[in-house]
Chain A
Amino acid sequence: MTIDWAHFTPLHALSGGALIGVAAAILILGAGRVMGAAGIVGGVLSGPAGERGWRLALIAGLLLSPALAHLLWGAGAPAIATPWPMLVAAGLLVGFGARLGSGCTSGHGVCGVSRLSPRSLAATALFMTAGFATLFAVRHLLA
């Protein structure tokens, strides 16, 4: 392993992470809801109608945040280099897996780990391991 110092951005990572934590804190303490993106998107697709409104409002905030980030510090669109078929496969796996496993990076990785849930700690360890292994296979074994 060699550390990629050129791309390492510790201050942006920590402060951006803290902002994500503040968002999760406001949602749980202000609205009693867990900030899990997969549950929020999945809940709009198949959840109870009464819980759809706040989820759509949160998704609207996510969709508008790039415009605000652009105004605040000139954030630009990220480059996505993944080929189309792999992108579709990735989306299918992420969507299906997050629902089957009851959570994603935000629901398990941020909120669940923060409340020290054994399920979320296990899920986070497992999806990180699967992510490391998949990337290793794609970038170092198959390429």
Chain B
Amino acid sequence: MLYVISLSVGLLFGLGLCLSGMSEPAKVLGFLDLAGQWDPSLALVMGGAVAVGLGAFTLAKKRRATLLGGALNLPTNRTIDAPLVVGALIFGAGWGLAGICPAPGVVDVGFLEPRALVFVLAMGVGMSAYGFLAVRRPTGATLAADA
């Protein structure tokens, strides 16, 4: 059942990215270009997603179990620490270079776009590099994830 849910969620998530324009790097870059011709569409993508998400996560916070009775664990860390700040800045710099973030990168690989494959492979190397450093410095960096 978990796999059926996950596969369906991946399909819906991907359809949402395609429909909204998030899967088009040029459109993302148009949103990030405040000083040029600014395309505000992506603010509405986040708005639409959060409008639905607020209801779902408000309900999730009140529950200990999923609707199917399984474990429901939400992140509990509330501390804004240095890894969060530095990581978000590095992530945003990479996002601003190409207009691609992780999920749209994977979706664009599904469009058989060779440049997306190069991006996703480099992303995997970047993730593994972090994993390598985090294992070497267990006290300095944690693998605890919000998401």
Residues of A at the B interface (CB closer than 8 Å) are 1-4, 7-10, 12-39, 41-43, 45-46, 53-55, 57-69, 72-73, 75-82, 84, 86-115, 117-120, 122-124, 126-136, 138-140
Contact = CB atoms under 8 A, between A and B. Distances in A.
Nearest to B60: A28
B139 interface: no
Contacts of B2: 31, 53-54, 57
Q: For the complex, would chain B's binding face be called helix, strand, loop or mixed by DSSP majority?
A: helix
Contacts, number: 538
B34 A132 contact: yes
Interface residues of B, number: 126
Interface in B25-82: 25-27, 29-30, 32-61, 63, 65-68, 70-75, 77-80
Centre residue among A18, A64, A88, A133 by max chain B CB count within 10 A: A18
A77 B111 CA distance: 5
A23 B26 CA distance: 24
Interface of B: 2-27, 29-30, 32-61, 63, 65-68, 70-75, 77-80, 83-103, 105-113, 115-116, 118-131, 134, 141, 143-147
A23 B55 CA distance: 13
Given A39-B145, A57-B6, A139-B33, A46 B92 contact: no
